[in-house]
Amino acid sequence: MLRYVTTNEGKVREAREYLGDDVAQLEFDYTEVQADDLGPIAAHGAREAYRHAGEPVLVDDAGLFVDGFDGFPGPYSAFVEHTLGVDTVQRLVARELDDERRAAFRCVLAYCDGEEFDASPDAVDREDRVAAAATGAERGEQEERALPVKLFAGTVRGRIVDPRGDGGFGYDPIFEHDGKTLAEMDAAEKNAVSHRGRALGKFAEWVQGR
């Protein structure tokens, strides 16, 4: 059984739509490390969640990157949603950026099952190595400590618009792709174009061949 690590039921619904019922939600509050990018956050979370659960885990980290705000809120999207709210983000973009409202939604899935495989090429295990080096561990021991994590990324480009639609969750009502907001799509439609759907597609293909 694959544990989909998130507190967000909307994510689990979309993952089930893609991967079937063999997916169980694991509400585990992993430590969100500070990083400009989603990859290291998800990788760190996957190692922590695997150590906690002892079963295959998939951590899902997502964010809204507004071009005209240099990618903000990005990895801080959850904090910004909970503090400012989605409608305020939309109004800020409309007021500050006029017609330049392009944005991307990104999702990184991090998989860990404690087994060996070719880890992602990114330096996502840097932290473990630094920690191991600090304790004076030899290289072999360092490698052993760095649990392999595989990353799968997906992006959808679009623009920020006045809220429309009542499907989906989070920023969906203000993110338009190809004339429709993500909240105007049903789960299957959203998965076909979304950041999460694309990342899930890559994961499903890889895990099948494994």
Residues carrying an active site annotation: 61
In the complex with ligand ITT, the residue whose CB is nearer, 137 or 204, is 204
The encoded tokens of residue 206 equal: 């890889």
Which of 119, 105, 74, 87 is CA-nearest to residue 176? 105
In the complex with ligand ITT, the residue whose CB is nearer, 84 or 131, is 84
Question: At 53, which helix (H) or strand (E)?
Answer: helix 38-53
In the complex with ligand ITT, the residue whose CB is nearer, 40 or 63, is 63
Tell me the closest approach of the beta carbon of residue 181 to ligand ITT, in angstroms.
Answer: 10
182: CB partners within 8 A, 6+ apart: 105, 158, 165, 167, 168, 171, 172, 173, 175, 176, 190, 194
Specify whether the CB–CB gap between 150 and 189 falls below 8 A. Answer: no
Tell me the closest approach of the beta carbon of residue 52 to ligand ITT, in angstroms.
Answer: 14
Tell me the closest approach of the beta carbon of residue 87 to ligand ITT, in angstroms.
Answer: 13
Residues binding ligand ITT (CB under 6 A): 6-8, 11, 60-63, 77-78, 81, 168-172, 182, 194, 196
Q: How far apart are CA 90 and CA 87, in angstroms?
A: 5
Tell me the closest approach of the beta carbon of residue 199 to ligand ITT, in angstroms.
Answer: 10
In the complex with ligand ITT, the residue whose CB is nearer, 25 or 142, is 25
Q: How far apart are CA 133 and CA 148, in angstroms?
A: 18
Beta-bridge mates of residue 160: 175
